[in-house]
Structure 1
Amino acid sequence: MGGRIAIHFVAATPEVRAFIGYYPTVRDEPTTPMRPVPPSEATSKILCPSIILYGADDTVTRVPVQEKMWRAFLANGQSLEWHFFPFGGHGYVDPGAVGYHAHAAELSWPMVVDFMERELQWSSSSA
């Protein structure tokens, strides 16, 4: 749920300079009065670079929905870095999560650091 909220927040907040989505929770669901815009449509309003990371074993946001989100992010025309691991489930960086995958977690952090350094002129040495 956090990723879905984050997508809508970033889409509604043009001041956001970068979006980092660790396996954002998105489901293929009908719209409702409380959720009138699906995340795949909200991405069209994102005005910043994004990095999105998913694992193939994610049982929360399944691969077909991940692919739909990938196409939506590509269509918005902003800089996109998309990483799909052939392993790892939802929560793959959290050792306490069912989807935890140590190798995917190990691979992800340097990618995110590189993204932040490049897009935000952020220095990992200052962290």
Structure 2
Amino acid sequence: MGQASHRFENAAGFLQTRLSPYRVAELAHRQSPPTPTPTLRYLGGGNGWLRFSIRGMGGVTEYMTFVVNIDSTMVGCDVKTDIMSFTTSQDKIGFVPAGRKQLVGYKQYRAFFDRLAREVLAEDPTARAHFSEVG
């Protein structure tokens, strides 16, 4: 896991907001549903960061882990998401690879950032958000 490379492995979301780092951390944490076997799971955090994993159905297999880094600024905070580990899959015909590799969990990672950005923008219309697939 995480040893293969993928064209989106450095994809990252960026936010600049006047909201406090504490409030952004609350909004990020809220993206992880409190269900027994979530596909998006909050793993913990520390001063200025929160860690999440994206899992398969049943919550057993971990496909991707990512971190939300929150840095305090004079007027609010800067936020960046970073993929820490990931799994790829690729269709095969027999033993021959067919098509592009898929970054398993990428859609959920992107959806997490989009939801977080929407919530931040709802509370701070002056916030700026963008997502880069090249990091």
Q: Same fold (TM over 0.5)?
A: no
Structure 1 or 2: larger strand share? 2
Could you say which structure has the higher helix fraction? 1
Higher relative contact order (CA 8 A, sep 6+): 2
**Larger Rg, first or second structure (1 or 2):** 2
TM-score, normalised with respect to structure 2: 0.29
So what's the TM-score if we normalise by structure 1? 0.31
